Amino acid sequence: MSAIGLIRRIVEGCGSLDNIAAEVQSFGAKRVLMVTDKGVYSLGLTKGAEAALASAGLELCIESEVPPEPTQAQVQAIFDKAVGFNADLVLAIGGGSAMDTAKLIALMLRNDLNVQDLLDGKRPQSRKVPLIMVPTTAGTGSEATPNAIVLVPEQNLKIGIVCDLMVCDVAILDAKLTAGLPQAITANTGIDALCHLMECYVSKKHNPLSDGFCLRGISLIARSLRRAYTDGTDLAARSDMLLASCFGGIAIAGSSTVGIHALSYPLGGRYHIPHGLSNAILMPYIMEENAPYCLERYSDIAKAMGLDTAGKSAEEVAQMLVKELYELNRFLNIHCDLKAKGITLDVVDELTAAAAKVTRLLSNNPKDLSPDDMKRIYRRLIADNA
Ligand SMILES: NC(=O)c1ccc[n+]([C@@H]2O[C@H](COP(=O)([O-])OP(=O)(O)OC[C@H]3O[C@@H](n4cnc5c(N)ncnc54)[C@H](O)[C@@H]3O)[C@@H](O)[C@H]2O)c1
Ligand SMILES: [Fe+2]
């Protein structure tokens, strides 16, 4: 397989996973490694694909033990278990945790590399097996990003391994798979997608390609996240969310997330707050902090969200956008008892020191966030989520 930085094919539509055997066979593959997680597997979400692959006479090995937000060691253990199967295609069905694990496995297969090598910056010349990804959450957009995130407990940090070769060959966006996503996960992951889109739009790395995907994705979320949250079986809203999430991934591939994700990493790394939730609670604060540095871009976001910007100054529109984000969080019941997680004012310095290491993202934030800025933001967050 050659190097690819952008996803090549998106297959969209309710029931699109039914065609999985033909997709696999289009690569001439015969031995499929399916990577999923316990929750998704036990809900039976992989059953249709299993049956379709079996009836097409394809060999299947299922790794269903991916935990939420896996550590480096957990990804390595799943790889070590799967490597003997000698897969000629990797199929991920799950949320970001399963998809990221599948990406790393696909990159390491037949490449004589382990996860530590990848963390150390080693990269293969090519990916040797095709990769098909089927998201079951609408949030990470992992199917379209070159990133895979692992928790490194020794550093109390989640680290993004970035390699263009991890962008998948085909993403299948089948809203039927997300219809049973619980409300809280719908909310957290949906806001994760919104963060990707807004952050990539204001990032110093923004560019015409990512901009288009950002604004379209933001519109889809504005029209459908509340609906998907209120009625999970609303498949039109679920489809919008899957597409928006994928667009967020494409935007990340060309641009980058910024301050929200940077300050969020320590909350996940050390305190195990789920990725979407830690972004969601931080989102309005960082957007407020950045507002004076990207007023025009905030105006574009507000318009994409359908807010009534007529006759208002750029400052007023930015304020309106920030207010809308606080309101969206309230509607979705986004809240995290930080104290119960051990996050109090006592750990603000530690959080700030960990966030300051995420220079890959911080360096693209519209405002240069100083340690004092970050401390102030964490303090507000802790006070408001007590
Ligand atoms: N690669 C990237 O670009 C990227 C971007 C953002 C986040 N991430 C990473 O992705 C991970 C988070 O992924 P996530 O937010 O999708 O959550 P997740 O994959 O950890 O899943 C969360 C929970 O939802 C359940 N679930 C998934 N789909 C379901 C469905 N359809 N119905 C019912 N339950 C379902 C899972 O079983 C799990 O318990 C983190 O490790 C994060 O760091 C990666
Ligand atoms: Fe994210």
pLDDT score of 217 more than 80: yes
Residues 338 and 370 in one domain: yes
Atom of ligand 1 nearest to the CA of 189: 15
Which of 117, 138, 155, 165 is closest to 6 using CA atoms?
A: 165
Best residue among 7, 14, 17, 37 to mutate for probing ligand 1, ranked by most atoms within 8 Å of CB: 37
pLDDT score of 361 more than 50: yes
Domain's final residue, options 178, 194, 229: 178
Residues 125 and 260 in one domain: no
- HSE at residue 315, side-chain half, CA atoms within 13 A, is 1
Tell me if 1 is assigned to some domain.
no
Using CB distances shorter than 6 Å, the residues near ligand 1 are 37, 39-40, 43, 45, 68-69, 94-98, 100, 136-137, 139-140, 142, 145, 147-149, 158, 177-178, 180-181, 185, 189, 192, 252, 275-276
Residues 146 and 198 in one domain: no
Mean pLDDT for the stretch of residues 238-259:
97
3 state SS of 88: coil
Mention every residue, 6+ apart, whose C-beta is less than 8 A from residue 168.
7, 92, 103, 131, 132, 133, 143, 144
Tell me if 2 is assigned to some domain.
no
Residues 161 and 187 in one domain: no
Best residue among 93, 136, 271, 273 to mutate for probing ligand 1, ranked by most atoms within 8 Å of CB: 136
User: Checking DSSP bridges between strand 59-66 and strand 31-37, what pairing results, if any?
Assistant: parallel
Res. 6 pLDDT band, cuts 50 70 90: confident
- Mean pLDDT over all residues of the chain? 96
Domain's final residue, options 152, 178, 204: 178
Nearest CA to ligand 1 atom 34: 181
Distance of alpha carbon 10 from its chain centroid, rounded? 17
Mention every residue, 6+ apart, whose C-beta is less than 8 A from residue 231.
237
Tell me if 163 is assigned to some domain.
yes
Share of the chain above pLDDT 90, in %: 95
Q: Crossing angle, helix 208-230 and helix 295-304, to 10 degrees? A: 50
pLDDT score of 3 more than 70: no
pLDDT score of 340 more than 70: yes
Instruction: Summarize pLDDT for 268-292 with one digit per residue, the tens.
Output: 988 999 999 999 999 999 999 999 9
Atom of ligand 1 nearest to the CA of 261: 6
Residues 204 and 157 in one domain: no
Residues 108 and 251 in one domain: no
Residues 192 and 308 in one domain: yes
Q: What is the pTM of this model?
A: 0.96
Nearest CA to ligand 1 atom 42: 275
Number of structural domains in the chain: 2
Tell me if 141 is assigned to some domain.
yes
DSSP string, 169-213: SEEEE-GGGGTT--HHHHHHHHHHHHHHHHHHHHSTT--HHHHHH
What pLDDT score was predicted for residue 385? 87
Tell me if 20 is assigned to some domain.
yes
Tell me if 286 is assigned to some domain.
yes
Distance 131 CA to ligand 2 centre (A): 21
What pLDDT score was predicted for residue 1? 37
Q: Crossing angle, helix 259-269 and helix 183-202, to 10 degrees? A: 140
pLDDT score of 4 more than 60: no
Residues 326 and 375 in one domain: yes
Task: Give residue 278's domain range.
Answer: 183-384
What pLDDT score was predicted for residue 156? 77
Mean pLDDT for the stretch of residues 206-211:
95
Q: What is the CATH number of the domain that holds 164?
A: 3.40.50.1970
Instruction: Summarize pLDDT for 21-32 with one digit per residue, the tens.
Output: 999 999 999 999
What pLDDT score was predicted for residue 2? 37
Instruction: Summarize pLDDT for 39-74 with one digit per residue, the tens.
Output: 999 999 999 999 999 999 999 999 999 999 999 999
Mean pLDDT for the stretch of residues 293-322:
98
Mean pLDDT for the stretch of residues 329-338:
96
Contact present, 61 and 34 (Cβ < 8 Å):
yes
Which CA distances in Å does 263 have to 150, 260, 302, 331, 357?
16, 6, 23, 23, 10
Which range is least confidently modeled, 1-5, 138-142, 196-200, 323-327?
A: 1-5
- Nearest ligand, measured from the Cα of 200: 2
Domain's final residue, options 178, 205, 229: 178
Instruction: Summarize pLDDT for 128-144 with one digit per residue, the tens.
Output: 999 999 999 999 999 99
Q: What is the CATH number of the domain that holds 362?
A: 1.20.1090.10
Instruction: Summarize pLDDT for 343-354 with one digit per residue, the tens.
Output: 999 999 999 999
- Nearest ligand, measured from the Cα of 96: 1
Residues 153 and 54 in one domain: yes
Tell me if 3 is assigned to some domain.
no
pLDDT score of 158 more than 90: no
Residues 350 and 313 in one domain: yes
- Nearest ligand, measured from the Cα of 140: 1
Which range is least confidently modeled, 3-12, 303-312, 332-341?
A: 3-12
CA gap 22, 372 in Å, rounded: 55
Residues 120 and 158 in one domain: yes
Residues 210 and 348 in one domain: yes
What pLDDT score was predicted for residue 135? 98
Tell me if 4 is assigned to some domain.
no
| Residues 200-215 as b or e (16 or more Cβ within 10 Å = b) | bbbbebbeeebbebbb
